[in-house]
Every structure is written in C-alpha cells, then in structure tokens.
Amino acid sequence: MYTFRSQEQSDATYREMQNNISKHPRLKHIHACATQGSAFFIYKGCTHQVLTVMPGGDTHVVYLKHTNPLLQLRTQPGIVYIFGYTQV
C-alpha cells in the first residue's frame, strides 16, 4: 500500500468539491485515480468533516468523531489536505 499527502489553498465547501470532483481541473485527477481503485480523504483544516472519495469514485461527506486522528493534526483554515491510499 502506498500513501501520499498534498495540500492546497481553497475556499470551496465540501459540497462544492463533491459536486465538481469529476470536472474541476485538480479534483478530476483524484476522481480518476479513485475510479481505478485508490481512496482519498479531502480534509479542510480546522473542520469536523471530511470528503471521502472511495475506490470506484463514490463520494461522501462524513462528520468526524472527536477522537478521529485528523482532528489532532496541526492544520490551518482555508487549506485543503488531501490524503491518498492506493495498492500496487
């Protein structure tokens, strides 16, 4: 399994990202990888939600429990953190 991380500046909401994931110039690559079997978690810093992009390309906005490790990360508002997981 490979993991990777990236971050981008954005003021988009989770719903906007979810609705445009297959069309947005940067998000469409994430969606394309997900349709091939990768999984992604798109986290906006200092929030209690995450956009999950499941293998196959389905997306879900999920509320995080207070014990979720993402909430322990040092993050900044307005920064989107992208975590990807894939198998060889």
What are 14-68's pLDDT values in tens digits?
A: 999 999 999 999 899 999 999 999 999 999 999 999 999 999 999 999 999 999 9
**Rounded distance between C-alpha atoms, residue 45 and residue 28, angstroms:** 21
CA distance 31 to 66: 28
As beta bridge partners, residue 62 has 50
Give the predicted TM-score (pTM) of the model.
0.90
CA distance 32 to 55: 10
Using an 8 Å Cβ cutoff, are 59 and 49 in contact?
no
Domain residue limits, the chain: 2-86
Q: Is 40 exposed, middle or buried (0-12, 13-18, 19+ CB in 10 A)?
A: buried
